[in-house]
Amino acid sequence: MAFRYRMLAPLVALFVAVVGYPMVYSFWLSLTNYRITRTGQTKFVGLAQYQALLSNDSFWSALMVTATFMVTAVGLELVIGLGLAMALRRQKRVRDFTRSFLLSPMFVTPIAVGLMFRFLLNPQLGPLNLLLEKLHLSYDYFGPGTALFTLAFIDVWQWTPFMVLMLLAGLESLPRAPFEAARVDGASAWLTFRSITIPLLSGVLVVAVLLRGLDAMRVFEYVYAITRGGPGTDTQTIQYLIYQTGIQFFRLGQASAMAYVVLIIVLAIVIVLFRRMVKEARR
Amino acid sequence: MTGSRKISQWLTNALLIFAVFMVGGPFLWVLLGSFKTEQAINNPLQLLFVPTLENWSIVIEGGSFTRFGILSAQVLPPAVLVFPFLAMAYALRLNDTLVAVTVAHISLVLPVVTWFLIGFFEAVPKEIEEQAQVDGLGRFAAFRAVVLPQVAPGLGAAAVFGFVLSWNDLFYALILAPGNAKTLPVAIAGFNTFRGVQLGAMCAAILVSVVPVLIASFFVQRRLVRGISGGSLKY
């Protein structure tokens, strides 16, 4: 056996054991009516679980909620992250400290971040509401229509650093020549940014948005820590719905079917973006 | 020209200072909270308070907090894998044990760490490996003697990154071991009742979970970029 295959074998074996086998198992679960409370009566039901999802309103609403969350959070993270990355690049003093400090939120346990913000935004105990009260204003952070955006804001607080990290690395690897040329030609800062920085950075931008987007899609901790899906089903994200279906209602078959639909959506997004990137690279 | 440059440098600094406050503010409030008595927490405007260590002793004595918890793979939705793990754990009577969580966390950490290390291995010049073989080492011996030392810093950073992933994970730990073998995030989630005494202890518990990770991440900061981008960026 060739050396490279022998070197690869341990990884592949471990992958098959802890990823491959559970994936196949999960697909099998999604074709049954498996319930953890009555495992003796498990029956093969074919695609019935998937068929049931088609008419399951909470599933579709959870997909919409998750999509809204993703677009809001990742959109803001991209804009703020790009701004911060450009500022950090031009910073002259205390660089290392600022960078370490600004990156710190992404290492914090997400459940702790959720609870931190629940505390900070608490109507009676939180500093923000006290400030608003002084100004005779009031705002319900976790009310209908606002809760989901508050959760998105928390995601922005925790994960913008990830964007900054990726974009900063991208910015620092850009060639200098085009910028010099633009400066010699007297191009304005905005024009330089739009017609040089953005196109040169596009590959990194796509990877950063993709990684963040897929991660935002499985938001769970903030929902679990703060709203538990409420008010109503305003913040019932797909990951939280799957958790409820599997753990509170014990319907592992149904939950696995939902997870597989999510997996198919994820794969579709990845493949489409990846193909576009390959095309761009060829040009 | 120099005038406008000065202004833009000034704006840059202002933006960064603002960002530092946005990131630091929440930490500071929770830090203050962890030293407040129940009464002081319920009276948030009172900025002067007699600090208490009571919250910290609650947390440090509670055994569950010393347990390790472990974040999420970049590729697979964790919901796809978690239910098979749960069903298998039930079948093997391993539900609510750290064994189930540990195995699940391997599936979580392995893909990320593998991806993370690509960039480090790619950065090792092929020539030095070939030179070692010319000098009479076998392929594996060359790998061990020449390539591994080169990627050692990367291995360290990957280990820290994997540790952070596992330490921070709630989803797997909550589903596979919600009772007897709580990891730190599951225990923190238990402070979810927002009544009285719990708040101060919760602040302290949050900081207990945050501090080791922040310290660990500080040491690998510089290597993170190459790792997270999986070698797709030159650094």
Q: ipTM of the predicted structure?
A: 0.79
The number of domains in chain B is: 1
Q: ∠ CA(A155), CA(A160), CA(A164), 5° rounding?
A: 165
CA distances from B72 to A66, B104, B106, B151 (A): 17, 10, 10, 24
User: What phi, psi does B162 have (nearest 5°)?
Assistant: -65, -40
Is residue B228 within 8 Å of residue B112, measured between CB atoms? Answer: no
Let me know if residue B221 belongs to a domain. Answer: yes
Distances (CA, A) of A271 to A170, A210, A217, A264, B80: 22, 11, 16, 10, 19
Of A105, A103, A121, residue with least CA distance to A155: A105
CB proximity list for B27: less than 8 A, separation 6 or greater: B210
Amino acid present at B160: V
- Torsion sign, CA atoms A200, A202, A205, A211: negative
Architecture of the domain made up of A14-282: Orthogonal Bundle (1.10)
Instruction: Read off the tokens for B111.
Output: 């893909």
Task: Tell me the CATH number at B44.
Answer: 1.10.3720.10
Taking only the tens of pLDDT, chain A with its 283 residues reads 577 778 777 877 888 888 888 888 888 888 888 887 777 777 788 888 888 888 888 899 999 999 999 999 999 999 999 999 989 888 888 777 788 788 888 888 888 888 888 888 887 777 777 788 888 777 788 888 889 999 999 999 999 998 998 888 888 878 888 888 888 888 888 888 888 888 888 878 887 888 888 889 889 989 998 888 878 888 999 999 999 888 888 888 888 999 989 888 888 877 777 677 666 655 5
Q: With an 8 Å Cβ cutoff, are A165 and B170 in contact? A: no
Residue B2 lies in a domain: no
The predicted model scores a pTM of 0.79
Euclidean distance between CA atoms A15 and A59, whole angstroms: 30
Can you give the residue range of the structural domain that contains B131?
Answer: 35-228
Q: Which residue ranges make up each domain of chain A?
A: 14-282
Q: Is residue B12 part of a domain?
A: no
**Is position B58 within any domain?**
yes
Comparing CA positions, the residue from B83, B194, B153 lying closest to residue A121 is: B194
Instruction: Report which residue type is found at B165.
Output: L
Which residues between 50 and 79 in chain A have a beta carbon less than 8 angstroms from any beta carbon of chain B? none
A156–B contact, CB cutoff 8 A? no
- Selected for mutation to probe chain B from A18, A82, A280 (highest B CB count within 10 Å) is A18
β partners of residue A7: none
Give residues 97 to 126 of B whose Cβ lies within 8 Å of A: 103-104, 106-107, 110-111, 114
